[in-house]
Amino acid sequence: MTTQFKTLDDAGDLRGKVALVRVDLNLPMRDGAVTDLTRARAVAPTILELSDAGAKVFLLAHFGRPKGERNSTMSLSLVQGAVEEVLGREVMFVPEIYGDVVKQSVGILQPGGIAMLENSRFWAGEEANDPAFAQAIAENADLYVNDAFSAAHRAHATTEGLAHILPAFAGRAMQKELEALEKALGEPERPVAAVVGGAKVSTKLAVLEHLVSKVDHLIIGGGMANTFLAERGVDVGKSLCEHELKDTVTQIMDAADKANCTVHLPYDVVVAKEFAANPASLRTCNVHEVAADEMILDIGPQAVEALADALKTCRTLVWNGPLGAFETEPFDEATVKLAKTAAAFTVDGALVSVAGGGDTVAALYHAGVADDFSYVSTAGGAFLEWMEGKELPGVKALTRS
């Protein structure tokens, strides 16, 4: 995949050039203060590399959902201090995104200087991907760098439109993400396993339908496993279950059979009569022994052991979603155990492991193994659409330019 798009290695001499860099600075805030710097840290290497090469760096980002109108509570100036803290450099704030004010800022900024343009979503032309709006932004620049994979599933002016006007390059975070995804599902080393968890089959239908033709082992966890068990004739009691999707699940199982993809469902489960931390009614049982007043809240230890054995035979793993209700103890046990197993195989060099999605990232940090996976994507929607096999507009625009 790396051959299909240009990276900063292809950008040539950048001294004095004006680089528009699309980043994700949609940082979480509480009481006017930024609470998590993960996204800013992810794009820092690209910003600093361009700055060190003598480019005039202008950051483009969105913040919240102002719906095409100025809103002081969603100004990017609110995250300026946090970005300066991460970069260890001064960042000039520019309250516009195109026009004379930006032109003056380009004149003021020294080579190597960094500026941040106002929230791109203050203009309706952003989400409409208006070519005239993109053209106006591009007028003051020499090149475009996209380092926001998390916004690559949206065809907006700053994520897609600019790539058709200016010489376009993938930033380092984008490059890393695309290389990891290529290793995971583009041209992976086989056998490939995918863990797909989460509450509902309905939210991951497209993912499951796409994956059965791509992977050798499909491991189903979370509430969605109950829907698969019910389709197999298991009485799942009071468990979260989408009984109306029985026919859809049958189609997925049939497609998996045709593609020689083994679908792994738990044969022992952890159940309780109420969903609470360490409930008195907690027990582990065979899937066929779930009582009418019980809920399945995690997969059992024997199932986890069998999954670990399956992973032992695999070379590549893609993970999206927890195996149980991991936010509440002890229903985090299966997720933690399997995550630790996958991490150990990765550290040994036996497995390439790529994980993504909000719950998944939280679960891997909870298990203490996020740093041991080959790659952990913080992109939610974009990662999911990639798992569905969709073409992401922001990525496609880079490969075309």
Report the SS3 class of residue 364.
Answer: helix
- Give 87's DSSP letter: H
Residue 196 has pLDDT above 90, yes or no: yes
**Is 394 labeled as ligand-binding?**
no
Cα distance between residue 214 and residue 186, in whole Å: 9
In this prediction, residue 380 carries a pLDDT of: 82
Q: List Cβ neighbours of 222 (8 Å cut-off, separation of 6 or more).
A: 197, 198, 199, 321, 322, 323, 324, 325
Distance (Å, rounded) from C-alpha 235 to C-alpha 271?
13
Per-residue model confidence as pLDDT tens digits over 268-313:
999 999 999 999 999 999 999 999 999 999 999 999 999 999 999 9
For 13-41, b/e burial (b = at least 16 CB within 10 A) is ebeebbbbbbbbbbbebeeeebeebebbe
Q: How many helices (H) and strands (E) does the chain have?
A: 14, 17
Specify the pLDDT at position 61: 98
Number of other CB atoms surrounding residue 353 within 10 Å: 28
pLDDT at residue 400, rounded to an integer: 64
Other CB atoms within a 10 A radius of the CB of residue 350 amount to: 13
Which domains are seen in the chain, by residue range? 2-175 (3.40.50.1260), 188-387 (3.40.50.1260)
pLDDT of residue 177: 92
pLDDT given at position 358: 74
227 known member of a binding site: no
Q: What is the pLDDT of residue 187?
A: 86
CA distances from 214 to 183, 217, 318, 321 (A): 13, 9, 11, 18
Please list the active-site residues.
39, 200, 358, 381
Verify cis geometry, omega within 30 degrees of 0, for the bond prior to 95. no
Q: State the pLDDT at residue 1.
A: 38
Cα-only R_g, the chain: 23
Exposure string of 160-185, with b = 16+ CB inside 10 Å and e = fewer, is bbbbebbbbbbbbbbbbbbbbbebbb
User: Is residue 64 marked as binding?
Assistant: yes
**Mean pLDDT of the chain, nearest integer:** 95
**Spatial CB neighbours of 240, under 8 Å, sequence gap ≥ 6:** 199, 200, 223, 226, 295
Question: Residue 400, annotated ligand binder?
Answer: no
The H-or-E segment that residue 133 falls in is: helix 131-138
Cis omega before residue 330 (within 30°)?
yes
Kindly report, residue by residue over 321-372, the tens digit of the pLDDT.
Answer: 999 999 999 999 999 999 999 999 999 999 999 999 878 888 999 999 999 9
Q: Are 119 and 76 in contact (CB under 8 A)?
A: yes
pLDDT digit string, tens, across residues 331-343 = 999 999 999 999 9
Quick one: pLDDT at residue 256? 97
Collapsed DSSP state (helix, strand, coil) of residue 290: coil
To the question of whether residue 41 is assigned a binding role by annotation, the answer is no
Q: Three-state SS string across 212-264, please?
A: CCCCCEEEECCHHHHHHHHHCCCCCCCCCCCHHHHHHHHHHHHHHHHCCCEEE
345 marked among binding-site residues: no
The predicted model gives 141-154 an average pLDDT of: 96
Does 244 carry a binding-site annotation? Answer: no
Give me the pLDDT at residue 137, please: 98
- pTM for the complete prediction? 0.88
226-273 tens-digit pLDDT? 999 999 999 999 999 999 999 999 999 999 999 999 999 999 999 999
Contact by Cβ (8 Å): 287, 318: no
Report the pLDDT value the prediction gives residue 235, as an integer from 0 to 100.
Answer: 97
Structure confidence by residue, pLDDT tens digits, 9-68: 999 999 999 999 999 999 999 998 999 998 999 999 999 999 999 999 999 999 999 999
Residue range 57-83: mean pLDDT, rounded: 96
Q: In terms of DSSP bridges, do strands 192-196 and 217-220 run parallel, antiparallel, or are they unpaired?
A: parallel
17 is in an annotated binding site: no
Q: Is the pLDDT of residue 2 over 70?
A: no
> 351: annotated binding-site residue?
no
pLDDT score at 357: 83
Find where tokens 């004010």 sit: 101
Q: Is 329 annotated as a binding residue?
A: no
Output the pLDDT for position 74.
Answer: 96
CA 6 centroid distance within chain:
22
What dihedral do alpha carbons 54, 155, 119, 178 form, nearest 10°? -50
Q: How confident is the model at residue 3 (pLDDT cuts 50, 70, 90)?
A: very low
